[in-house]
Amino acid sequence: MNILMVGDVFGSPGRRCLKSLLPGLRQRLALDLVVVNGENASGGLGLSSRTAEEIFSYGANIITTGNHVWRQRDLLPLLDNEPRLLRPANYPLGAPGQGWALAETKSGRRVGVMNLEGRVFMNPLEDPFRVADEILAGPLRKVKIVLVDMHGEASSEKQAMGRYLDGRVSAVLGTHTHVPTADDRILAGGTAYQSDVGLTGPVESVIGMDPKTATQRLRTLRPLPFKVAAGPAAINATLVSVDPETGKATHIERIYEVLS
């Protein structure tokens, strides 16, 4: 079974990448499931209801998010009514939506997807390790194939989550920093791991933003408006192959493709 995790989609360039490149990737890689992190898909900051529906129409089976999930207020009703759209599971009780989903492939295999958010340099949320335990012992307890989107700033926290869940989930793949890491591997217990899948969006950018604007923000310490970078765009994603009988990963591979 082949699962593709698409790194943070950034603005309209990222969405164009999905529209143009995902169908070919789905066919070429014989994908059974596509998970897309969409928390920056609307103007580089947040996810609107319309943009979420757009991403689903391009072939995403599940959309995960992160710390910008609340930026677009019109998304809130969709979070409550669309089970394929996730927010980090370790937000406090009462937050709209949920942090896990159960998808079924065309072959009838069930795949669990869990969305977590780190706490190091991030929001003071519930303990993601405890919440992961609760989900694996609860709604996903009978599901062999589980992918975790660990949305976090610190590689150390994401690595710790990978080690903590090794052997209990099929993959722990990091998002949020928009820079792909070269530590893709299969851990000792059979869990595929990567600290960050990377950015799907503008290539000539500073994590998706116009370089000039990003540099001015850093030099002047002024909250200048975000501006999505122009120019060529590319998709960063990670392919994980899983033995459906055991739920163990058998292959992990970084995918990078430029939109021509």
Q: What is the pLDDT of residues 114-133, one digit of tens each?
A: 999 999 999 999 999 999 99
- Residue range(s) defining the domain that contains residue 170: 2-202+232-259
- Does a structural domain hold residue 216? no
Q: What is the pLDDT of residue 66?
A: 97
Q: Which CATH number is 91's domain given?
A: 3.60.21.10
Q: Mean pLDDT over residues 185-198, rounded?
A: 98
User: Any catalytic annotation for residue 178?
Assistant: no
Phi, psi at 128, each rounded to 5°:
-65, -25
- Does a structural domain hold residue 97? yes
pLDDT bin (cut points 50, 70, 90) of residue 226 is: confident
**CA 254, CA 226: separation in Å to the nearest integer?**
28
pLDDT bin (cut points 50, 70, 90) of residue 236 is: very high
Q: What is the pLDDT of residues 105-115, one digit of tens each?
A: 989 999 999 99
- Does a structural domain hold residue 221? no
Other C-beta atoms closer than 10 Å to the C-beta of 197 total 29
- Does a structural domain hold residue 225? no
Q: What is the pLDDT of residues 46-57, one digit of tens each?
A: 999 999 999 999
Catalytically annotated residue among 68, 151, 176, 178: 68
Q: What is the pLDDT of residues 76-92, one digit of tens each?
A: 999 999 999 999 999 99
pLDDT for residue 161 is more than 90? yes
- Does a structural domain hold residue 212? no
Residue with tokens 């898909």: 41
pLDDT for residue 260 is more than 90? no
Phi, psi at 47, each rounded to 5°:
-140, 120
**CA 200, CA 18: separation in Å to the nearest integer?**
8
**231's tokens:** 């120019």
- Does a structural domain hold residue 190? yes
pLDDT bin (cut points 50, 70, 90) of residue 3 is: very high
Q: Mean pLDDT over residues 241-255, rounded?
A: 98
Using DSSP bridges, classify how beta strands 145-151 and 171-175 pair: parallel, antiparallel or unpaired: parallel
- Does a structural domain hold residue 217? no
Domain tally for the chain?
1
- Does a structural domain hold residue 219? no
For the chain, what percent of residues have pLDDT higher than 90? 97
Pick from 84, 183, 202, 85: nearest CA to 173: 183
pLDDT for residue 158 is more than 90? yes
CA dihedral over 34, 56, 112, 97, signed as positive or negative:
positive
pLDDT bin (cut points 50, 70, 90) of residue 162 is: very high
**CA 30, CA 33: separation in Å to the nearest integer?**
9
0.75 surpassed by pTM:
yes
pLDDT for residue 256 is more than 90? yes
Q: What is the pLDDT of residues 13-39, one digit of tens each?
A: 999 999 999 999 999 999 999 999 999
